[in-house]
Amino acid sequence: MHPLYDCIVVGSGPSGVQAAQTLLEGKMKVLMLDVGIKQDRFYQDNLPNSSFTQVRESDPNQHHYFLGKNLDSVAKDWQNKQDRLTPPLAFTKELVGLWQSKIDKNNNQFFMESMAKGGLGNAWGRGAFTFNEKELDKVGLAREEANRSYQKIAQRIGISGTRGQAVKLDPLLPPLFLDKSMQYLWNKYDQKNNYWRRRGFSLERTPLAVQSIPKKGRQDEQYWDIDFWSLGKSAGYHPGHTLDQLLLEPTFTYLPQHYVFKFKDQTDGVLVMAKHTGTLEEKTFRCRRLLLCASVLGTARIIMNSLHAQAHKRPLICNPFAYGIWLNTKMFGQQNSIAKSSFSQLSLFEQATDPGSFNLLNLYTYRSLLLTKLMNELPFSYRFSYQICAILKEMLVIGGLHLPEESHPTNYIRLLPDRSSPTGHILDINYHHDDRRLKKAIRSINKPLLNWGAIPLMTQYTASGASKHYAGTFPFSTREQKFCLSREGRLHHTRHIYVGDASGFRHLPAKGPTLTIMANAHTIASGLLKNFKALLSVEDSLNK
Amino acid sequence: MFTQQEAKVISRYLLKVDIDQKQVDLYAQTIASGDFQLSIFEQRIFRHQIQRPIHCAAYDAILGWTHPNGNIRKRFFLMFSILETTPQFSDHFLGVHNKLACIRIGFVGIIKYLFHLSLGILFLTFQFIIHRLCTPFMTASS
């Protein structure tokens, strides 16, 4: 039996590390349990320290990270059009199939989970949006607390952008530079911005968890256009940055290779059961409070297994997602800026039918995607596809469209027994989203884009779950009801179990939820801290 | 030996370039270690493409529609990926054409592609008929 910890945090993703930091600032003794698969040393050692174009022009071994060790992205993964993880980031989904099995009856779902150090935060596009008041109400978060927490997280991680629909924070770091192609779109919008706003469209700089100026030992954006290939050398924030700081704290313990599968809520604390992923040995840990930050699907597995709720249906929310390619006609025969960032540069908001709700298209110029990947989307001969791509590459604008989503009774998950799984269960996900909503939104969003000279080339409607934004399995509820969370994040009908990820969100706005998830984790950890300090003072007075 | 020949033929078809032994080895190693097996019908087509490089474009044009996920396309895709990540060919991928060159390449490219596609339909139909006719004999002899 291990020593008694004040709090055990499960998971090292964006919510886990932020909650742990808040708890440590309150002097709590924290244990973080995590599977914690690390990025392959091969990629860490081989990652280039120069810009995308320099690497392409001079490095004879570039295929190692652009195509993967042993050219895996071609040999094994060449038709994968869902996750879009570059080979150096493929560790994000390593081992998941073995430990976290899922049923996919029609092979048309793409729900991503992660057992990596940093969790799904490794696959995050660094979009750092704040929800507006109506969105916070629908999600079930208290406005004032959420705004305070946004501010706190922004101070910790650094957010660049300009105040507007996308982000309402002060102060922000200066926004990143726009490249030539995006500058054209921005200028066209800016000439008639009042007109477009009246029509329900607004174009803004994408707020990013990226350092636009050097700060706190993290380097600023170098505009090397290699951000999605080079995790450690990018100016973009990822949970590993916070985890590295936490490891210096004397009251913090990080135990990787531990897969948490069950807890027991007792009068005086919690027992947490985990399996060592190497030896499969089962271990039990004790703590006063348990904070689950294992991402929505991971947390659902642990709670349903612990509360013997197998076969019990829990709702699931996921943003419908499509991506498309547009041709910026202004860039015909011109070269785009060499120095550029790979992250989303502009965000196009479209007022949805529901007031205060938006559809969101994030725009990128993605040179570092490599023509190889684009060629795979075209049905022509490779020679002809190459010629087309070579002509059009400077004109390509990639857009990712997210729609807001509510809970629907037909979309649910349940845990079923499965003897072949090391955890003894399998997750059955039943999810369907209607592509007609996406098609309608694409048609509508094409109007301003066409006006600004961007011609739609193709749209890919992705499988359910491909947005990687999940929520709603244990929704917030003010009434004490089973499988729901209190505003403080406590799982109703338990004493010491808290949930710090997006499981409680009752709604998912189109804006990426990562910043809100981190802010919510901070709010819950702060509440837990207050509650815990009150408990300690009661214990002290009883002892006296 | 055949893999070496196919690497050279495919690279010449894709970019009109001659590759070094390093790229040939990389191609051969990946083919040997991954799932690039061809069906009997695909082997017949692929042999034609490699032995008569002039037919490469026609088969490639039609396979993009009929067998987009087939292993012949995968082999071409592999070679294309290797070429794109080879510094000596980076100009082919990073260079920018002026407007006139873009129009010329685009126009000529479309005409050539349509011509190759029509040829590809004829070639593939012919190969399919031959394959169907030969299959009973091949099954009997095996």
Residue B38 CA neighbour count, 13 Å, CB half:
15
Min mean pLDDT across A19-33, A178-192, A206-220 is at A206-220
A63: closest chain B residue by CA = B85
The pLDDT assigned to A281 comes to 94
Count CB atoms within 10 A of the CB of residue A147. 18
Tokens 């080879």, located at residue: B86
Instruction: Identify which has the larger pLDDT, A99 or B18.
Output: B18
Task: Compare CB distances from A74 to B30, B68, B93 and report the shortest one's residue.
Answer: B30
pLDDT at A15 over 70: yes
In contact, A167 and A32? CB cutoff 8 Å: no
| Residues of chain A positioned with their CB less than 8 A from the CB of B35 | 75-76
Q: Residue B109 and residue A59: Cβ atoms within 8 Å?
A: no
The pLDDT assigned to A403 comes to 96
| Residues of chain A positioned with their CB less than 8 A from the CB of B95 | 390
Task: Tell me the mean pLDDT in the region A231-238.
Answer: 81
ipTM, two decimals, is: 0.93
- Report the distance separating Cα A462 and Cα A323, nearest Å: 8
Task: Compare CB distances from B78 to A74, A333, A384 and report the shortest one's residue.
Answer: A74
Q: Which two tokens stand for residue A481?
A: 């009801």
pLDDT by residue (tens digit) across A384-428? 999 999 889 999 999 999 999 999 999 999 999 988 888 889 999
**How many residues are there in chain A?**
544
- Report the distance separating Cα A438 and Cα A433, nearest Å: 9
**Residues with Cβ < 8 Å from A225, sequence gap 6 or more?**
A51, A52, A53, A339, A340, A341, A342, A367, A368
B13: closest chain A residue by CA = A383
Q: How confident is the model at residue B140 (pLDDT cuts 50, 70, 90)?
A: low
Task: Compare CB distances from A381 to B15, B61, B92 and report the shortest one's residue.
Answer: B61
- Report the distance separating Cα B70 and Cα A373, nearest Å: 16
Angle (CA) A138-A430-A423 rounded to 5° is 105
- Report the distance separating Cα B42 and Cα B68, nearest Å: 12
Query: Residue A350: which of A229, A272, A440, A423 has the closest Cα?
Result: A440
Count CB atoms within 10 A of the CB of residue A446. 17
Q: A189: which DSSP letter? A: H
B75: closest CA of chain A, how far (Å): 9
Q: How confident is the model at residue A373 (pLDDT cuts 50, 70, 90)?
A: confident
- A residues 53-72 near B, CB within 8 Å? 53, 56-60, 62-63, 66-67, 70-71
Radius of gyration of chain A (CA): 23
**Residues with Cβ < 8 Å from B92, sequence gap 6 or more?**
A390, B15, B17, B83
Min mean pLDDT across A319-333, A447-461, B90-104 is at B90-104
Radius of gyration of chain B (CA): 17
Q: How confident is the model at residue A327 (pLDDT cuts 50, 70, 90)?
A: very high
| Residues of chain A positioned with their CB less than 8 A from the CB of B15 | 386
pLDDT by residue (tens digit) across A275-287? 999 999 999 999 9
| Residues of chain B positioned with their CB less than 8 A from the CB of A70 | 29-30, 33
pLDDT at A313 over 90: yes
Q: How confident is the model at residue A182 (pLDDT cuts 50, 70, 90)?
A: very high
The kind and range of the H/E element at A346 are strand A346-351
In contact, A56 and A238? CB cutoff 8 Å: no
pLDDT above 70 coverage of chain A, percent: 97
- Helix, strand, coil percentages, rounded to 5, for chain A: 35, 25, 40
B11: closest chain A residue by CA = A383
- Report the distance separating Cα A490 and Cα A475, nearest Å: 11
Write the single-letter amino acid at A300. Answer: A
- Cα A325 to chain centroid distance, Å, stands at 22
pLDDT at B141 over 60: no
Q: Which two tokens stand for residue B39?
A: 């069906």
The pLDDT assigned to A419 comes to 87
pLDDT at A259 over 80: yes
Measured CA distances, A267 to A28, A248, A290, A495, A534 (Å): 20, 32, 13, 8, 17
Q: Which two tokens stand for residue A65?
A: 């990270």
The pLDDT assigned to A108 comes to 77
Question: Do strands A102-103 and A425-430 pair parallel, antiparallel, or not at all (unpaired)?
Answer: parallel
Q: Residue A62 and residue B85: Cβ atoms within 8 Å?
A: yes
CATH of domain A4-535: 3.50.50.60
A-B contacts at Cβ under 8 angstroms: 127
pTM score, two decimals?
Answer: 0.93
Measured CA distances, B105 to A316, A394, B3, B15, B109 (Å): 49, 15, 31, 14, 6
A350: closest CA of chain B, how far (Å): 34
**Residues with Cβ < 8 Å from A210, sequence gap 6 or more?**
A126, A158, A160, A176, A221, A234, A235, A236, A237, A341, A343
pLDDT by residue (tens digit) across B51-110? 999 999 999 999 999 999 899 999 999 999 999 999 999 999 998 888 898 899 999 999
Write the single-letter amino acid at B107. Answer: F
Task: Tell me the mean pLDDT in the region A292-296.
Answer: 97
Q: How confident is the model at residue A81 (pLDDT cuts 50, 70, 90)?
A: low
pLDDT by residue (tens digit) across A19-77? 999 999 999 999 999 999 998 888 888 777 888 999 999 999 899 889 988 888 888 77
| Residues of chain B positioned with their CB less than 8 A from the CB of A327 | none
Task: Compare CB distances from A66 to B35, B85, B112 and report the shortest one's residue.
Answer: B85
Q: Residue B84 and residue A387: Cβ atoms within 8 Å?
A: no
**Residues with Cβ < 8 Å from A329, sequence gap 6 or more?**
A395, A453, A454, A455
In contact, A122 and A295? CB cutoff 8 Å: no
- Report the distance separating Cα A359 and Cα B67, nearest Å: 36
Question: Do strands A346-351 and A201-205 pair parallel, antiparallel, or not at all (unpaired)?
Answer: antiparallel
Tokens 């054209």, located at residue: A184
A195 touches chain B (CB under 8 A): no
pLDDT at A366 over 80: no
**Residues with Cβ < 8 Å from A365, sequence gap 6 or more?**
A179, A181, A182, A336, A340, A345, A396, A397, A398
| Residues of chain A positioned with their CB less than 8 A from the CB of B105 | 387, 390-391
A250 touches chain B (CB under 8 A): no
The pLDDT assigned to A70 comes to 83
Q: Where are the domains of chain A?
A: 4-535
**Residues with Cβ < 8 Å from A541, sequence gap 6 or more?**
none
Phi, psi of A349 (to 5 degrees): -95, 140
Question: Do strands A497-499 and A282-292 pair parallel, antiparallel, or not at all (unpaired)?
Answer: parallel
Q: Which two tokens stand for residue A358?
A: 């938006």
Q: DSSP assignment of B39-90, as one string?
A: -HHHHHHHHHHHHSGGGHHHHHHHHHHH-TTSHHHHHHHHHHHHHHT-GGGH
The pLDDT assigned to A78 comes to 72
| Residues of chain B positioned with their CB less than 8 A from the CB of A333 | 96-102
- Cα A93 to chain centroid distance, Å, stands at 13
Residue A25 CA neighbour count, 13 Å, CB half:
16
Q: Which two tokens stand for residue B96?
A: 């920018």
In contact, A9 and A23? CB cutoff 8 Å: yes
A376 touches chain B (CB under 8 A): yes
Domain count, chain B: 1
A107 touches chain B (CB under 8 A): no
pLDDT at A5 over 90: yes
A382 touches chain B (CB under 8 A): yes
Burial of A194 (0-12, 13-18, 19+ CB in 10 A): exposed
pLDDT by residue (tens digit) across A468-487? 999 999 999 999 999 999 99
The pLDDT assigned to A216 comes to 67
Interface probe with A: pick from B80, B82, B108, most Cβ of A within 10 Å: B80
Task: Compare CB distances from A370 to B65, B84, B99 and report the shortest one's residue.
Answer: B84
Q: How confident is the model at residue A1 (pLDDT cuts 50, 70, 90)?
A: low
Query: Residue A366: which of A337, A407, A396 has the closest Cα?
Result: A396
Helix (H, G, I), strand (E, B) or coil at A95: coil
- Domain hosting B67: range is 2-141
pLDDT by residue (tens digit) across A482-529? 999 999 999 999 999 999 999 999 999 999 999 999 999 999 999 999
Q: Which two tokens stand for residue A85?
A: 């993880």
B57: closest CA of chain A, how far (Å): 7
